[in-house]
Amino acid sequence: MERIASFCVDHTRLMPGMYLSRRDGADGEILTWDIRMKRPNQGQYLSPAAAHTIEHLFATFARNSKYGKHVVYVGPMGCLTGFYLLTTGLTDAEALDLVRSAFAWMAAYDGEIPGASAAECGNYRMMDPAAARAEAAAMLPVLNALAPDHLRYSNS
């Protein structure tokens, strides 16, 4: 079998940031964004409860934002180093604006976690809002330092 695109990225050189991971669809209209919050294989990862909480918050914010109709999917990476965001019809600048806005909102959010009930989620008790806020806040300086024309992997 062919190696999938995400396995072709040199994870020993990958730093926290936001990267265009791949283009899919007939015209390349579906963009997969790598929202890398932790440096791979360095011993610090998102806790499962923080990642789960961020997933609920990030997906809810993204789908309710001004870019909501362009959001295809938001979900955590199994390695617990970040998230995937799939979009369609957004420029790099718009995708970055969406992610910055989402992380700023999550860093300040102190309400009920959307979808955190037995009827809405398969593991609704595994939530850590305080850790999610801290992780989102820690990612903000990384996101704020990015420029829309530099959202590509380098040295991979």
Q: What is the pLDDT along the chain (156 residues), one digit of tens a residue?
A: 988 777 888 899 999 999 999 999 999 999 999 999 999 999 999 999 999 999 999 999 999 999 999 999 999 999 999 999 999 999 999 999 999 999 999 999 999 999 999 999 999 999 999 999 999 999 999 999 999 999 999 754
Which pLDDT score, from 0 to 100, does residue 155 have? Answer: 55
Which pLDDT score, from 0 to 100, does residue 64 have? Answer: 98
Q: Where are the domains of the chain?
A: 7-144
The reply to whether the predicted model has a pTM over 0.85 is yes
For domain 7-144, give the CATH number.
3.30.1360.80
Which structure tokens are listed for 96?
């970055």
- Please give the full DSSP string across 34-89, using - where no structure is assigned: EEE-S-TTSS----HHHHHHHHHHHHHHHHHSTTGGGEEEEEE-TTSSEEEEEEES
Which pLDDT score, from 0 to 100, does residue 130 have? Answer: 98
Which pLDDT score, from 0 to 100, does residue 8 have? Answer: 81
Do 114 and 56 form a contact (C-beta atoms < 8 A)?
A: yes
- Find residue 35's DSSP bridge partners: 18, 83
Which pLDDT score, from 0 to 100, does residue 156 have? Answer: 47
